[in-house]
Homo-oligomer: A and B are copies of this chain.
Amino acid sequence: MQPLQILHPDGTLAAAPPVGRDEARRLFAAMVHARVYDRKATAMQKQGRLATYAPFEGQEAAQIGSAAALRPDDWMVATYRDAAAMWMQGYLWEDLLLGRIGDERGGSPPEGVPVLPPSITVGAHMLHAVGLGWAERLRGEDRIAITYFGDGATSEGDFHEAMNFAAVFTVPVVFLCQNNQYAISMPVSRQTASATIAQKADAYGMPGVLVDGNDVFAVLAATAEAVARARAGEGPTLIEALTYRTGPHTTADDPGRYRSGDEAAAWRERDPIDRLRAHLRAEGAWDEAWEQGILDEAAAAIEAAVARAEALEVWHPREIVDGMYAEPTAPLLRQRDALLRDLGES
């Protein structure tokens, strides 16, 4: 299987892009914006202002390109590494940061944003997307669901059950696998003996598509097609986007223990932002000032998000039992009272 490619690594075109110039510029701006966030979050973690953080640098095209194919009311269920995609679908940077600061309120996007809080467990969440899409179909709505996951996640039993349910019940869901070559320290070649992840779709009677995940046009085109299929009632699609995480698994990880500098350097040559920039420049659609403007705007927006997130006071211990049920149960109320007594707050 050859991955679908529209933009060559040097920025020349292999095929007609799926979007016009303005939209291409918008995609570029979004990718740059996301990278600013990612670097800021990484820096904050080093300063001890975030708990662990899972950087996505290198995967911007896979996330932004795919999310750009969605309608604003489509459901999204993604992971700890998919902040860029979630933000594209309406999740706020400040809420993403809050989660990383270690505050449950980060799991609560603005009302109406159809994006679930990031999944920390690997695998289980794909089934949630199946249920969401299925529910819409049962109601006769044409909203679809998309779920993001990594190469490692394809080993979990829940991946299998999600793919199977989606295909058996013709659920409108797109499975977007970012094969970033590693699951923590494990290369994808030790995760599965199949040549590609895309080919796993056939086991479920579902189309599987392999795309160059650092080619934002290819990702967008493939996702748009899958979304259209789903919306038309033709069922699920598995997309494997080949990409690479430039940084560590999380800020607690040292990739030097398991991968070579050469490999990382080779992938850096395929950087998704550089690639689109080269294309835009060749088209006369890019100049340095414009990019600087995006960077400045992004920095300001993200600083503001950081400020809002960090300004939020820790909730009062009284609230500790409030999240579990619509109304705290009798045992929880007793436990809360005992806690407040112990804290001298009752």
Contact = CB atoms under 8 A, between A and B. Distances in A.
A167 to B, nearest CB: 4
Contact of A203 (B158, B168, B202): B202
Interface in A146-173: 155-161, 164, 167-168
Contacts of A167: 192-194
Contacts of A159: 160
Contact of A193 (B155, B168, B193): B168
A200 interface: yes
**Number of copies of chain A assembled together:** 2
A194 B203 contact: yes
Contacts of A200: 203
A31 B160 CA distance: 35
Interface of A: 155-161, 164, 167-168, 190-195, 199-200, 202-206
Majority SS at the chain A contact face: helix
A206 B195 CA distance: 11
Given A156-B157, A156-B161, A192-B204, 9 more contacts: A155-B161, A157-B158, A157-B160, A157-B161, A167-B192, A168-B192, A168-B193, A193-B205, A193-B206
B155 A164 contact: yes
Contacts of A199: 202-203
Contacts of A204: 192-194
28 contacts: A155-B161, A155-B164, A156-B157, A157-B157, A157-B158, A157-B160, A157-B161, A159-B160, A160-B160, A160-B161, A164-B192, A167-B192, A167-B193, A167-B194, A168-B190, A168-B191, A168-B193, A192-B204, A192-B205, A193-B204, A193-B205, A194-B203, A194-B205, A195-B205, A199-B202, A202-B202, A202-B203, A203-B203
